[in-house]
Structure 1
């Protein structure tokens, strides 16, 4: 008989059940704050929007500012300049080829740019437009929809406002991809970087208005007209009209008993600098909020400080690229699930800096070349974006590695060489045999040269680059010396 406790006249709970962790959420909004209404609408906790009582549309107006718009474009361009594509990994060839073909027909630059609105506004819903193509369900377009059309409920579920339902409707499955920046349970709307630009931009616009008035008032010299003490008001008004005309046309007609003096507004330069410093400070705040640095936008920046500021920008760029990568992999997974099965492994979509990948791949190819891999010119043209005619005639593998060719005419027999060859052969033959057997096994299973290269690197990843090159070089040396010895002995 199991031991436990009766929690009610009709419900018995065993002690083993009491020791199990709860599978349900305990800390929820409904338990702490009660119901938020029929739909449980959760207000956006953005401080600017709450204090202003406005929607996220107010942030769209900020992009009309020249500096804000320029920083937004620069931030998006940093991500759009990255390379992108699929890594097949464990995905089957049929699945990977299908997904790559589907994505090749999408306007990827537009999709990536739309997804990058998420860091600016906190979140961006992307609606996937599905269509039947050749008995397959494929995405034919991905469109960003205005964030102000949507809201979250107390269960952090995305809802859309409609004319028919004021409480909003839940969205269908596999229809909207939600891209968010730094979203949490407390704030599912994410963090909008444009919220940090609202007040600096507002103060800059106000300072610019006062600066214009100050310039108009004190930037031009004052014209002072002098007339006799008992001059009639009519004549005084006529003199003022002449002064006003003189400001505009630099020509005036006055009585011969009147005079005009030009007075400069001295000492006002320092006062005008206050407005300029205010606007430059506001510009710097916007640059820091959107690009992570103001070193590349200010006039007094040195080349060294500008280069140092680029490292911060790269961090923000990589974080934005991760948001896009997550969204594209979600779309990839949905495409595979709808056309194959949920158990099928989808390929992985990623973004990378071309310089970083080229260096890594070049180092990998150098190791494989030293190990004996013989790459074709077609491989280098495809992998390194070269053009026809950039590469000359391919060298033989042995000549490229600096080892003597087996076809060379053998030199005079040398007992020392033969002895060294025999000794090295005895000591290293078991190791070489193991390597050759493993490499032969990879070659039989590999579908293409690229897969063979990956398997070789994965198998010998316990060695450093220098150790791997040295081990392979030793193996080729032993083989070469052993071959020479056999030729010299007439075997």
Structure 2
């Protein structure tokens, strides 16, 4: 028997220095008071199934009902039709490689079909799939998942899966670990590995529906062929009575009979009013739809478009839950085994089946968050990298904001203040107005650089200044002689060149000629 921790004095639990990591209230041995009989195998706790002698074939017969088939087919195919995604469980290279291989593996097998078969666990309560593995290029690969009939298997007290065989129907044969993918659906606790399937709730509505249909058919028969009544005089012999009864039976087939005088025949029809069997049938169908789909308007007629959209959202919520149930069980089973075998130490990949509606909702939420960030920036606030990561997730990088092109007013104000606008390109057609305070040489600058050869023109003034400084004994002497220097500075050649360039520029401006090769190319373009 499992030991239970002592509660100490006065029944008060002592404070543990470390957490208790052992399982204490497991449904094994004599601890579980909810199980009447504890044998080698755990008994199914489904009360309806117990009354049926644990006969799952009765649950299988429920699928013959048209409403059950149609509704559960919607739920099952909605799950199967969702695209499968496999994401790394971590950022390390091993976890990324494990996700890539699992994704490739599942794309190469009929995994959607296997998922559809395993989803029948939602109907019966649990499902069992045998995983067929193979070794390829030194790695373990999942080659196929074979869904087995679930009630061929039972669970032991320790949670071990056991196969019931003809040779051993009591204890079963223990199955090897990391071989079978199992799912459990609908139970309200973890002590029930068999789950509680939709068939548990569907049994009575389907049963009542069948009984109602039987009465309905009988009523239709009575309406189409009312009961015949024959009246004969008192004292009529038994042989004559039997002859009249046979005549009444033939009347239902032939439509007419001949009887002797004194004998009357009449038809008895229902006079109690109308019994609405169709309403009862609709009520049972609605009950079935609500059990399987949580609503009725995806199988029956609806009142309005808005209501049908709400009902559709309810069905999608159930499909979301089914997808999570199935994917989580696969991650805890085959996905975890393959990762441990092929990439020891790597995190188990995250397997999902995301609906298109979920992607649309995520895109809408992302747009709303982007609008909120834009509004906050307009108000003068900048989000931190942590805030952006929490809002938009990984996979996004910030790009440099492109420079804003200045307006004509901004360029004119900059020219008036004789300041440069760094990083802002000059608008097209405003280069001359900005002058040498814009961004780069304008047409006049280029023309002056091409016409005036500055180096030879400045050689004579530079040599004169160097000789002047050499003659001065000190800087103080040079300062005192500086006023008389400007009158004797040799700049005639420089003055003549500048005058000639100014003349050419005025002539070119009057005639509309290009002042540079760049301006000529721009005018030609």
TM range (shorter): 0.5 to 0.7
CA distance in 2, matches of 1:359, 1:142: 33
- Structure 1: unaligned runs, 5 residues or longer: 1-15, 372-427, 436-455
Matches within 5 A, 1:71-82: 71-82=71-82
State the partner residue of 1:30: 29
CA distance in 1, matches of 2:405, 2:346: 45
* 20 and 142 in structure 1: CA distance in 2 versus 1, 3 angstrom threshold: same
* 2:124 is equivalent to residue 121 of structure 1: yes
State the partner residue of 2:84: 84
Partner secondary structure for residue 484 of structure 1: coil
* 2:429 is equivalent to residue 483 of structure 1: no
Q: 1:36 Cα shift? A: 9.6
Matches within 5 A, 1:128-139: 128-139=131-142
CA distance in 1, matches of 2:365, 2:298: 33
Q: Given the alignment, which residue of 110, 114, 121 partners 1:111?
A: 114
CA distance in 1, matches of 2:289, 2:100: 42
State the partner residue of 1:174: 178
Q: 1:99 Cα shift? A: 2.1
CA distance in 2, matches of 1:91, 1:249: 86
* 367 and 476 in structure 1: CA distance in 2 versus 1, 3 angstrom threshold: farther
CA distance in 1, matches of 2:75, 2:385: 36
Partner secondary structure for residue 85 of structure 1: strand
Kept after mapping to 2: 8 A contact 1:222/1:265: no
Q: Given the alignment, which residue of 212, 235, 255 partners 2:217?
A: 212
* 464 and 82 in structure 1: CA distance in 2 versus 1, 3 angstrom threshold: closer
CA distance in 1, matches of 2:141, 2:287: 43
CA distance in 1, matches of 2:178, 2:280: 48
Kept after mapping to 2: 8 A contact 1:158/1:170: yes
Q: Deviations over 1:359-410 (max 9, x none)?
A: 6458869999xx9xxxxxxxxxxxxxxxxxxxxxxxxxxxxxxxxxxxxxxx
* 2:195 is equivalent to residue 190 of structure 1: yes
CA distance in 1, matches of 2:278, 2:261: 44
* 17 and 348 in structure 1: CA distance in 2 versus 1, 3 angstrom threshold: closer
Partner secondary structure for residue 86 of structure 1: strand
Q: Deviations over 1:124-165 (max 9, x none)?
A: 122110112233221110111122122222233333323455
Q: Deviations over 1:261-298 (max 9, x none)?
A: 555433342xx32x444433332322221111234445
Kept after mapping to 2: 8 A contact 1:79/1:317: yes
Greater mean alpha carbon deviation, residues 88-97 or residues 110-119: 88-97
Partner secondary structure for residue 165 of structure 2: coil
CA distance in 2, matches of 1:266, 1:17: 78
Q: 1:259 Cα shift? A: 5.8
State the partner residue of 1:460: 388
* 110 and 490 in structure 1: CA distance in 2 versus 1, 3 angstrom threshold: closer
Kept after mapping to 1: 8 A contact 2:369/2:391: no
Task: Give the TM-score taking structure 2 as reference length.
Answer: 0.62
* 2:250 is equivalent to residue 324 of structure 1: no
Greater mean alpha carbon deviation, residues 22-31 or residues 126-135: 22-31
Partner secondary structure for residue 311 of structure 2: helix
Kept after mapping to 2: 8 A contact 1:36/1:154: no
Aligned length: 386
Task: Give the TM-score taking structure 1 as reference length.
Answer: 0.66
* 54 and 326 in structure 1: CA distance in 2 versus 1, 3 angstrom threshold: same
Kept after mapping to 1: 8 A contact 2:44/2:54: no
* 2:50 is equivalent to residue 45 of structure 1: no
Kept after mapping to 2: 8 A contact 1:219/1:265: no
Kept after mapping to 2: 8 A contact 1:36/1:42: no
Kept after mapping to 2: 8 A contact 1:57/1:148: no
CA distance in 1, matches of 2:349, 2:241: 87
Partner secondary structure for residue 189 of structure 1: coil
State the partner residue of 2:314: 312
* 2:250 is equivalent to residue 245 of structure 1: yes
CA distance in 2, matches of 1:61, 1:463: 50
Matches within 5 A, 1:219-368: 219-224=224-229, 237-255=242-260, 260-262=265-267, 264-269=269-274, 272-273=275-276, 275-298=277-300, 302-329=304-331, 330-341=333-344, 343-358=345-360, 360-361=362-363
Q: 1:26 Cα shift? A: 3.2
Q: 1:209 Cα shift? A: 2.0
- Structure 2: unaligned runs, 5 residues or longer: 1-13, 374-379, 408-422, 441-525
Q: Deviations over 1:235-268 (max 9, x none)?
A: 5544443433332232434457766555543334
Kept after mapping to 2: 8 A contact 1:218/1:268: no
* 91 and 223 in structure 1: CA distance in 2 versus 1, 3 angstrom threshold: farther
**Computing the radius of gyration over CA atoms, which structure comes out larger, 1 or 2?**
2
State the partner residue of 1:411: none
Q: 1:113 Cα shift? A: 0.7
